[in-house]
């Protein structure tokens, strides 16, 4: 019997990764019928619309890793994409600043890593650092030339328009609730009661990617543990304290970069994000608790193994989240003039961080394939920067499965 398909490829998730995948499919194989299903009323409601907006250079990532390859290429492509479509962006460069002697070896290691990844990096003395950022204090710094800022929500919207112009359909308010697979097709049922059949499915569900993989009958071998990142912004009359982007030296035990100072494309200076456990996958404040999400996180053995390993760091982050005084104190290491009154609460974001059963925080991007499906299981920062190469990679995998 001939199977009838509603489309060739179903993409679950209208964040920047899903929309970039849809766009790449229409470019790599024109005529492929693509449908994107997004549960919210528009694109980029979650990670893509709630981040630092930084086009990362790729300096932090292990040479040869997917993050390094895709971020370096993706940063250049993101700048070109924004320029081509008239989206706001700026290549500002950034400083990474050591505030303690113990951080200097790690700062030097970053210089080596950046050069290995082909990134322009300059070591700065205190006087040179002050020329860039007079109000920032540190004992050593490096300048990375290719870092920039943009609006990833606007990029996602543009990708949706380009995919639609090429024949794709992007449907909002369509949550995928069930997934079935036969030898010749996949089928999904949405919250609107629609059933759609396709030749293949791509899972770009971000904070829900492990759930969608399980709905499809696959065993992803990881779990998304949501980590909220909280931000403040500098009061307008204090925004001149920060001219560009200023980052601390990251702790290599964590995939998070530490609280940084970011002058965005609208001139607002954001201070953050920290990294605290979220009590719901879309838990944008301590008051948002979803017992189902929480029970799943607590029942997962990897959560406890991770907590045992990192409790000291985690406790510090929670303290700084609950006490503005502690948060301000931490920021003052980089920016001594800042006072608690200068910091105005700003919207937070939640990172979809994959954790393995043994408690390992997955560092690199992670994809998994099964018949007729490609799952994007770990796409945290810098996946927005790297979204164009990631989309092409996912499109390549799904088209190879259909050939
Ligand atoms: C605080 C923070 C700061 C960050 N800073 C940066 C930065 O400066 N630079 C950078 O490059 N990256 C940054 N990132 C990372 C970046 O935002 C993410 O890597 C990127 O947005 C991931 O995109 P995505 O499409 O995978 O996920 P998302 O944007 O979360 O999209 C997933 C989509 O899937 C939808 N969905 C889920 N389940 C279903 C379902 N069952 N049916 C239908 N739809 C579904 C969701 O509604 C959502 O819209 C940051 C992230 C955070 C949280």
Q: pLDDT (tens digit, 9 = 90+) per residue, 179-195?
A: 999 989 999 999 999 99
Query: Is residue 291 situated within a structural domain?
Result: no
In the prediction, which pLDDT does 203 show?
98
Average per-residue pLDDT for the chain: 96
| Stretch 83-108: mean pLDDT | 96
Residue 217 lies in a domain: yes
Query: Does 121 map to a domain?
Result: no
In the predicted model, what is the mean pLDDT of residues 314-341? 94
What is the rounded average pLDDT of the residues 25-47?
98
Q: What is the pLDDT of residue 346?
A: 97
Residue 358, domain member (yes or no): no
Give the atom of ligand 1 at the shortest distance from the alpha carbon of 177.
41
User: How many domains does the structure of the chain reveal?
Assistant: 1
The pLDDT of residue 147 is 97
Please, is 331 exposed, middle or buried when counting C-beta atoms within 10 Å of its C-beta (0-12, 13-18, 19+)?
buried
CB of 273 sitting under 6 A from ligand 1: yes
**CATH code where residue 15 lies:** 3.50.50.60
Token reading at 192 = 């609107």
* Distance from the alpha carbon of residue 196 to the mean position of ligand 1, in angstroms: 24
**Residue 354, ligand 1, Cβ within 6 A:** no
Report whether pLDDT(349) > 60: yes
- For residue 385, pLDDT over 70 is answered with yes
* Average pLDDT estimate for 369-388: 97
Q: Give the residue-averaged pLDDT of 307-320.
A: 90
- Say how many Å lie between the CA of residue 46 and the centre of ligand 1: 5
Give yes or no for a contact between 143 and 95, defined as CB atoms under 8 angstroms apart. yes
State if residue 271 touches ligand 1 by the CB under 6 angstroms criterion. Answer: no
> In whole angstroms, how far apart are CA 15 and each of 132, 173, 204, 321, 371?
34, 13, 8, 27, 24
For residues 8-34, average pLDDT: 98
Question: Does a structural domain hold residue 207?
Answer: yes
- Torsion sign across C-alpha atoms 296, 298, 300, 303: positive
Q: Is the CB of 264 under 6 A from ligand 1?
A: no
- Does residue 2 carry a pLDDT above 80? no
In this predicted structure, the answer to whether residue 225 has a pLDDT above a threshold of 60 is: yes
Provide the residue range defining the domain that includes 184: 1-89+149-221+364-403
Given a cut of 80, whether residue 165 has pLDDT beyond it is yes
3-state DSSP assignment of residue 272: strand
pLDDT score at 256: 84
Relative to the CA of 17, which ligand 1 atom is closest?
Answer: 25
pTM of the model: 0.97
Rounded Cα distance, 136 and 336, in Å: 7
Band (251; pLDDT cuts 50, 70, 90): confident
CA 286 vs CA 5, 226, 230, 312, 350: distances in Å: 44, 13, 11, 20, 12
Asked whether residue 212 carries a pLDDT value surpassing 60, the answer given is yes
Question: Do 241 and 332 contact (CB within 8 A), yes or no?
Answer: no
Omega before residue 273 within 30° of 0, cis:
yes
Size (the chain), residues = 403
Quick one: pLDDT at residue 313? Answer: 85
Cis previous bond, 178, omega within 30: no
Report if residue 206 sits inside a domain: yes
Rounded to the nearest 5°, which phi and psi values hold at 21?
-65, -45
For the segment 353-367, the average pLDDT, to the nearest whole number, is 96
* Domain assignment present for 339: no
In the predicted structure, residue 114 carries a pLDDT above the cut 90: yes
Q: Atom 21, ligand 1: which residue's CA is nearest?
A: 48
Query: Whole-angstrom Cα distance, residue 127 to residue 144?
Result: 17
Tokens of 173: 């308010």
Q: Do the domain assignments include residue 116?
A: no
- Residues 395 and 403: their CA atoms lie apart, in Å, by 12
Q: Looking at the predicted structure, is the pLDDT value of residue 93 above 70?
A: yes
Instruction: Say yes or no to pLDDT of 1 above 60.
Output: no
């Amino acid at each position: 019997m001939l199977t009838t398909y509603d489309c060739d490829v179903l993409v679950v998730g209208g964040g920047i990764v899903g929309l970039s995948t849809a766009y790449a499919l229409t470019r790599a194989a024109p005529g492929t019928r693509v449908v994107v299903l997004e549960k919210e009323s528009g694109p980029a409601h979650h990670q893509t619309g709630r981040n630092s907006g930084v086009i990362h250079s790729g300096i932090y990532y292990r040479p040869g890793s997917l993050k390094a390859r895709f971020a370096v290429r993706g940063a250049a492509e993101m700048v070109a994409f924004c320029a081509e479509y008239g989206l706001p962006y700026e290549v500002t460069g950034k400083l990474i600043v050591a505030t303690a002697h113990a951080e200097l070896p790690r700062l030097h290691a970053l210089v080596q890593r950046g050069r290995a990844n082909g990134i322009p990096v300059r070591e700065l003395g205190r006087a040179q650092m002050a020329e860039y950022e007079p109000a920032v204090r540190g004992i050593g710094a490096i300048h990375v030339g290719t870092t920039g800022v943009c609006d990833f929500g606007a990029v996602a919207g543009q990708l949706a328009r380009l995919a639609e112009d090429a024949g794709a359909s992007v449907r909002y308010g369509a949550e995928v609730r069930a997934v079935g697979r036969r030898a010749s097709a996949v089928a999904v049922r949405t919250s609107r009661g629609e059933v759609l059949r396709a030749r293949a499915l791509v899972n770009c569900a971000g904070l829900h990617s492990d759930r969608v993989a399980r709905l499809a009958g696959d065993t992803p071998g990881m779990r998304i543990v949501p980590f909220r990142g909280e931000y403040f912004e500098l009061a307008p009359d204090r925004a001149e304290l920060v001219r560009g982007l200023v980052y601390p030296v990251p702790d290599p035990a964590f995939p998070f970069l530490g609280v940084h100072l970011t002058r965005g494309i609208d001139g607002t200076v954001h201070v953050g994000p920290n990294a605290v456990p979220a009590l719901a996958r879309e838990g944008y404040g301590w008051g948002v608790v979803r017992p189902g999400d929480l029970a799943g996180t607590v029942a997962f053995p990897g959560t406890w193994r991770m907590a045992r390993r990192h409790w000291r760091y985690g406790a510090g982050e929670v303290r700084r989240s609950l006490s503005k005084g502690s948060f301000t104190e931490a920021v003052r290491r980089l920016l001594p003039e800042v006072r608690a009154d200068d910091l105005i609460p700003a919207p937070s974001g939640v990172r979809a961080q994959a954790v393995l059963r043994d408690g390992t925080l997955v560092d690199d991007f992670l994809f998994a394939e099964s018949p007729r499906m490609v799952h994007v299981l770990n796409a945290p920062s810098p996946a927005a920067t790297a979204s164009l190469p990631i989309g092409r990679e996912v499109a390549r995998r799904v088209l190879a499965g259909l050939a």
